A and B are shown apart, each in its own frame.
Chain A
């Protein structure tokens, strides 16, 4: 019997090429002298009118093939002169704005693309960029939520108050509920900007094939189908003329879901216009100033609660800094406003937000996508309630938990996908018990005393979250059993390091009864699966995992039908083990999957041993056509998975920190994670996702921020100044415990796991530092110097 691979720590198949240096990232494609290289002139000003652009000094430079500004775009392709698409419109986004591929008349952030140069190599392209002269008329820059709200200056002249959107959701009369509550509190809570910062930036390569009139594009994107559709529209091509391939991607974390980036259109445009392959590879500074940021929000909370800390009314107003443009709509603030509730069930809840323009890089989802802010607001509120009532922080949480017998639980709100915010399953009390055990919650007071005796200061914090994962609308899969018996699987969403080639092969091997090593998975290639959405919102395992499972099931049905006929047996009596179909209990009567594949395709020609072997079997009715009316040739299965709504994963993080009484340095002594993402496909990969999420969370809580000055210059746009943690900054060891509450919404019971690790970080560190210091922590991230100044202020 083949061992089931579901739930096994299977080693990753993709590692073999990565470890040998044989990965194929976008900058590794089309290497050689035939390829031209692009560079972009970017705005040095946060807000300015473009008076004149002079490219005359570039035109005659040897090795330069093209210099384009906005004025050239209409001639190249009429739709290119229009703004880039607003991907996710929303009725409340009354003043949505997107940029042009190359700036028209005005720039609204440092880094906005103004001119595009194509040259023999990147060095020459950058030389040329430096010779372009732009005459700017400077305008006042709006930087930060406060300046945007004051609206003394406007980012876009036609957007009053800098307000792109106002939105409100509520479940009742929250003001009355709070007024009637025995206890009331209000809190102001801030989170600063940060960014995904994958080690590989954005990149695009395109090749126009004049012989077949087709465009082939490689892009480091989280959605190849999205990029494909955008290119077709903007270049005036039929969809059928465009192939987009997402090769190996060096991390995404959200920033690569936005599309099309200007270069994703300009590079294919140049490849078609110049008849040569063209490549653009973003450098690190460009990534800081021209790719998306996230997280920046200011929140005000009013809460009313009873003597046990039960939430009677929760009223949250927040201001979301969405930067200069809104290509990705309101996804991030909607997620904050809905996922803020976490595992709790306030009697009445209202969330309101304003989404504001600033002259800074645009905001699109970053791993967690608004949840880290929501979790921080909710969990800070829980801690404040506990402090007010003099109760243990875990007790206050426990009385507010949705109970295991209350699922499905409808929160009475509309989620980011337009569906009801209805939790499918979970067991939050069990998670809390595990978290307390893992971190040593009950033992902590003794530990604190012990440390205090040594003159050391420690604190403990805990934070709970619920994460809507696996949002629709759908993903699809195609499973093809070749005559060699090898299984080729394609799903359209992309991969940025999650190990899809491994986990999806595990699912297929289990369902089809084939050897794991005979399954090959391709992702993100529109030639192989043209219908797909993309990799974001912790959705790949849920969506494509389910689709692949269903497609494999369909392929298996056909295998059994043909094999039953060939072996003159009942389908129910057949089993497939290691790629061989046999009659249970009669091992002599068997047929290889490859042979079944040959039989499924009534060709006349014997190409190989498998087709020769197939001649001994007889399938099909000689009185009917070789391919029956309701059948098709080939041994394939194709299916799509489209869930009613998201499935809700949950978890709790806890941390013990030490703060230095003199220097205010913050040291992590212990970090614990309990996590419920339903059925685990590969625990090794899930734990890897958690490790990475925790490190990114530590980064966002203690180190990373976007240091804009008042003129809109990003002061720390390099790895020298943006403090991405090395190993020395992350916990030495992360304790992890799992709970598996299967989702009833998909066939495998899976919930997403990709973002979870980063969601509660700001909340949990704020809680632990507050516990150590006895000073309210209301703004994150927090550095030692900020903690030092907080101490001074509270002296």
Chain B
């Protein structure tokens, strides 16, 4: 077997540029976690169903386990680490999760936080049904989703207050 060919990629993550050399098959999730050390993005199924690895690529939620790192070149990527406020305090979605007990083991949480961040940008005033719909593509095994739905509704209030 020959040594894998490496590709130069510039990834912009949470506003910071990183130059990487990666094989073409390296997943964005692995590049974020293992090459950049941004371990907040979690991998729960490696086939795009659980949503734990969701990051924002140019503002849109993307399953980073289904995207190659080389495909993300030139895009603006936001991970859970990038959701905190500039002063280090929790961003509105994060704050809502803390207030509503929207997490237990915390493994699926980063994917929910990124998904909801994008969801509230598209729909800042979700109805209860829309709040459920917003998280309907992410799996959580601990919370039974009850408090995550509450957190979506609370996050909408916090975003409103902060804007």
In-complex Cβ contact of B98 among A11, A127, A685, A694 (8 A): A11
In-complex Cβ contact of B145 among A11, A200, A727 (8 A): A727
Interface residues of B in 69-94 (CB under 8 A from A): 79-81, 83-84, 90, 94
**A682 to chain B: closest residue by CB:** B101
Contact B144 A200 (CB under 8 A): no
A23 to B41, CA, bound (A): 10
A694 to B43, CA, bound (A): 25
A292 to B93, CA, bound (A): 35
Contact B50 A199 (CB under 8 A): yes
B127 CB → nearest A CB, Å? 12
**A287 to chain B: closest residue by CB:** B45
Contact B141 A696 (CB under 8 A): yes
**B50 to chain A: closest residue by CB:** A719
List A contacts of B147 (CB < 8 A): 688, 691
Contact A727 B149 (CB under 8 A): yes
Contact A684 B144 (CB under 8 A): no
**CB of B160 within 8 Å of the partner chain:** no
A713 CB → nearest B CB, Å? 18
B15 CB → nearest A CB, Å? 15
A284 CB → nearest B CB, Å? 4
In-complex Cβ contact of B139 among A14, A692, A719, A757 (8 A): A719
**CB of A123 within 8 Å of the partner chain:** yes
B38 CB → nearest A CB, Å? 7
**CB of B121 within 8 Å of the partner chain:** no
Known contacts: A19-B98, A21-B38, A727-B145. The answer to whether A251 contacts B80 by CB under 8 A is no
Contact B40 A22 (CB under 8 A): yes
Contact A25 B104 (CB under 8 A): no
Contact B97 A15 (CB under 8 A): yes
Known contacts: A199-B50, A250-B106. The answer to whether A726 contacts B139 by CB under 8 A is yes
Number of interface residues of B (CB under 8 A): 60
Interface residues of A in 151-188 (CB under 8 A from B): none
Contact A726 B103 (CB under 8 A): no
Interface residues of A in 591-611 (CB under 8 A from B): none
In-complex Cβ contact of B103 among A19, A27, A32, A127 (8 A): A19
List A contacts of B99 (CB < 8 A): 11
**A24 to chain B: closest residue by CB:** B39
Contact B113 A19 (CB under 8 A): yes
Interface residues of A in 658-710 (CB under 8 A from B): 684-685, 687-688, 691-696
**CB of A138 within 8 Å of the partner chain:** no
Contact B132 A728 (CB under 8 A): yes
**A728 to chain B: closest residue by CB:** B136
Contact A691 B144 (CB under 8 A): yes
Known contacts: A497-B142, A691-B147, A734-B146. The answer to whether A199 contacts B105 by CB under 8 A is yes
In-complex Cβ contact of B33 among A27, A199, A496, A499 (8 A): A27
**B1 to chain A: closest residue by CB:** A61
Interface residues of B in 105-126 (CB under 8 A from A): 105-110, 113
List A contacts of B17 (CB < 8 A): none
List A contacts of B90 (CB < 8 A): 16, 19-20
Interface residues of A in 384-428 (CB under 8 A from B): none
Contact A21 B105 (CB under 8 A): no
Contact A732 B132 (CB under 8 A): yes
B95 CB → nearest A CB, Å? 8
Number of interface residues of A (CB under 8 A): 61
**CB of B157 within 8 Å of the partner chain:** no
In-complex Cβ contact of A25 among B42, B84, B128 (8 A): B42
Contact A199 B143 (CB under 8 A): no
A708 to B41, CA, bound (A): 32
**CB of A198 within 8 Å of the partner chain:** yes
Contact A692 B38 (CB under 8 A): no
Contact A727 B98 (CB under 8 A): no
Contact B98 A198 (CB under 8 A): no
Contact A200 B37 (CB under 8 A): no
Contact B3 A62 (CB under 8 A): yes
List B contacts of A25 (CB < 8 A): 39, 42, 107
List B contacts of A684 (CB < 8 A): 101
Q: Which of B50, B90, B107, B108 has the most CB of A within 10 A?
A: B107
In-complex Cβ contact of B105 among A61, A251, A696, A718 (8 A): A251
Contact B23 A497 (CB under 8 A): no
Contact B98 A496 (CB under 8 A): no
List B contacts of A24 (CB < 8 A): 39
**CB of A362 within 8 Å of the partner chain:** no
Contact A727 B105 (CB under 8 A): no
A284 to B53, CA, bound (A): 13
**CB of B138 within 8 Å of the partner chain:** yes
**CB of A54 within 8 Å of the partner chain:** no
In-complex Cβ contact of A727 among B1, B23, B38, B136 (8 A): B136
A734 to B143, CA, bound (A): 12
Contact B132 A251 (CB under 8 A): no
Q: Which of B49, B143, B145 has the most CB of A within 10 A?
A: B145
**A733 to chain B: closest residue by CB:** B146
**CB of A248 within 8 Å of the partner chain:** yes
Contact B142 A62 (CB under 8 A): no
Known contacts: A248-B106, A720-B47. The answer to whether A21 contacts B141 by CB under 8 A is no
Interface residues of A in 115-152 (CB under 8 A from B): 121-123, 127
**CB of A253 within 8 Å of the partner chain:** yes
Minimum-distance CB pairs A-B, first 8: A21-B40, A497-B105, A250-B107, A18-B106, A695-B144, A691-B144, A497-B104, A21-B80
Can you add 9 more A-B contacts, CB < 8 Å, to A21-B80, A684-B101? Answer: A15-B103, A20-B84, A198-B107, A248-B106, A250-B106, A496-B105, A688-B101, A692-B142, A728-B136
Cβ contacts A to B, 24 pairs, < 8 Å: A11-B101, A14-B106, A15-B98, A19-B90, A19-B94, A19-B109, A20-B84, A21-B38, A21-B83, A23-B106, A27-B43, A31-B37, A32-B37, A200-B42, A248-B105, A251-B107, A498-B104, A692-B141, A718-B47, A719-B139, A726-B136, A726-B137, A726-B138, A733-B146
Residues of B near any A CB (own CB < 8 A): 1-3, 23, 25-26, 30, 33-34, 37-47, 49-50, 52, 79-81, 83-84, 90, 94, 97-99, 101, 103-110, 113, 128, 132, 135-149
Residues of A near any B CB (own CB < 8 A): 11-12, 14-16, 18-25, 27-28, 31-32, 61-63, 121-123, 127, 197-200, 248-251, 253, 283-284, 496-499, 684-685, 687-688, 691-696, 718-720, 724, 726-728, 730, 732-734, 757
